[in-house]
Amino acid sequence: MKNIILDVDTGIDDALALAYAVHSPELNILGVTTTFGNTSVSEATRNTLQLLQLLGAENIPVFHGVEETFTGRKPAEKTTWIHGENGLGNAQLPPARKQVENMKAHDFLISTVHSYPNDITIITTANQGNLARAIQKDPEIVHLVEDVILMGGAVTVQGNTTPYAEANIYHDPEAAKFTFQSGIPMTLVGLDVTLKTLLKRSTLDDWRKKDTLLSHFLANMCEFYMDAYAERNSNLNGCALHDPLAVGVAIDSSFVKMKTMSVHVITEGKEKGQTVGKDNEDGNMKVCMDVDVQRFVDHFLSRVCLDS
Ligand code: RIB
Ligand code: CA
């Protein structure tokens, strides 16, 4: 089993990633840390606690991240048009019985890395703020983490927030610049691959036929996301499995083909949030360049909607 921490801004595809991870016996989820992006930090925390309850995984502790960017700015507006007012496509879940933990997200990251030296993978599916703060407070941890698998960036393709920038990097480019330069091992799962892995509308009917609380919740939530894209004439024709692919890479890295590159982040001007990559065998991260779409999507679908 691989020990992991998930760092999320739950968020529709974060919710899918959480369900996939909880249902994957290869992964031992030690905790979930939350941040802003798709939603505010408080909403991401609330959504995560409610979802874990629905998944029968309330035992997994949840830790609240900081409510501002690495350089102290207020977060950008949440993306209600794509993730709904509540972050879950306005699909409803019962209130969570369990509370968020008292410890801050970055302190949990530091203490857990020390408890599992060289035996922990951090999967980030949101901005890099929690990880950046953890490394800033305790730089030693960069030598103790097996890998950081991050959904973020767009090295060979256009961005999705601006023509240059992918959302997770755009939300806190200084934090990403800091973690990318920190020396921590990283695997970048960017739009280069995630836009190829789509959930089709027909899957929602399959889920509704299963007729469980989880299957109806997932179908309602993803329908909102698909409608949002369709309304804006997106040619995607489905919903991109951005964050689930990062979990997939943690389970089985053979889903993707990677290349070692030097990647840096632009933090100013119209290219703010752009991830610029250059081939370099001694570079700072592995970048996913291609994905076995069918094998990954089948694997994801076989797990995400299991009964608890
Ligand atoms: O660009 C896609 C990423 O931005 C995903 O992590 C999504 O959840 C949003 O945070
Ligand atoms: Ca996310």
**What spacing in Å lies between the alpha carbon of 71 and ligand 2's midpoint?**
21
Number of C-beta neighbours around residue 177 at 10 A: 20
Q: What is the mean pLDDT of the chain?
A: 96
Q: What is the DSSP string of 10-46?
A: --HHHHHHHHHHHT-TTEEEEEEEE-SSSS-HHHHHH
User: In this structure, is the dihedral angle defined by the CA atoms of residues 248, 215, 199 and 128, taken in order, positive or negative?
Assistant: negative
**What spacing in Å lies between the alpha carbon of 275 and ligand 1's midpoint?**
15
User: In this structure, is the dihedral angle defined by the CA atoms of residues 49, 51, 53 and 55, taken in order, positive or negative?
Assistant: negative
Nearest ligand to residue 37 Cα: 1
Mapped onto helix, strand or coil, the DSSP state of residue 246 is helix
Q: Which two tokens stand for residue 157?
A: 């393709």
Q: Which of the following is catalytic: 23, 106, 171, 242?
A: 242
Let me know: does 216 contact 207? Beta carbons within 8 Å: yes
Q: Which two tokens stand for residue 305?
A: 């909607």
173 lines ligand 1 (CB under 6 A): no
pLDDT digits (tens, 9 = 90+) for 73-108: 999 888 898 899 999 999 999 999 999 999 999 999
Per-residue confidence band for 43, with pLDDT thresholds at 50, 70 and 90: very high
Residue 59 reports pLDDT greater than 80: yes
100, 110, 114, 50: CA torsion to nearest 10:
20
**What spacing in Å lies between the alpha carbon of 161 and ligand 1's midpoint?**
10
Complete edge-to-edge strand list for the sheet that includes strand 147-151: 62-63, 27-34, 2-8, 121-124, 147-151, 186-189, 285-291, 256-265, 275-279
What gap in Å lies between CA 41 and CA 64, rounded to an integer?
A: 7
Residue 139 reports pLDDT greater than 80: yes
**Closest-lying ligand 1 atom to the alpha carbon of residue 160:** 1
At residue 172, the pLDDT reads 98
pLDDT digits (tens, 9 = 90+) for 16-37: 999 999 999 999 999 999 999 9
What gap in Å lies between CA 141 and CA 133, rounded to an integer?
A: 11
**Closest-lying ligand 1 atom to the alpha carbon of residue 151:** 6
User: Phi, psi (5° rounding) for residue 32?
Assistant: -125, 130
Place of tokens 């933090």: 267
CA 144 to chain centre: 21
Residue 150 reports pLDDT greater than 90: yes
Mutate to test the pocket of ligand 1, among 8, 12, 13, 192 (most ligand atoms within 8 A of CB): 13
Nearest CA owner, ligand 1 atom 1: 167
pLDDT, greater one: 238 or 200 = 200
At residue 233, the pLDDT reads 66
What gap in Å lies between CA 153 and CA 176, rounded to an integer?
A: 10
At residue 114, the pLDDT reads 98
Query: How far is the CA of 88 from the CAs of 46, 152, 160, 243, in angstroms?
Result: 11, 20, 19, 14
Mutate to test the pocket of ligand 1, among 20, 128, 151 (most ligand atoms within 8 A of CB): 151
At residue 244, the pLDDT reads 98
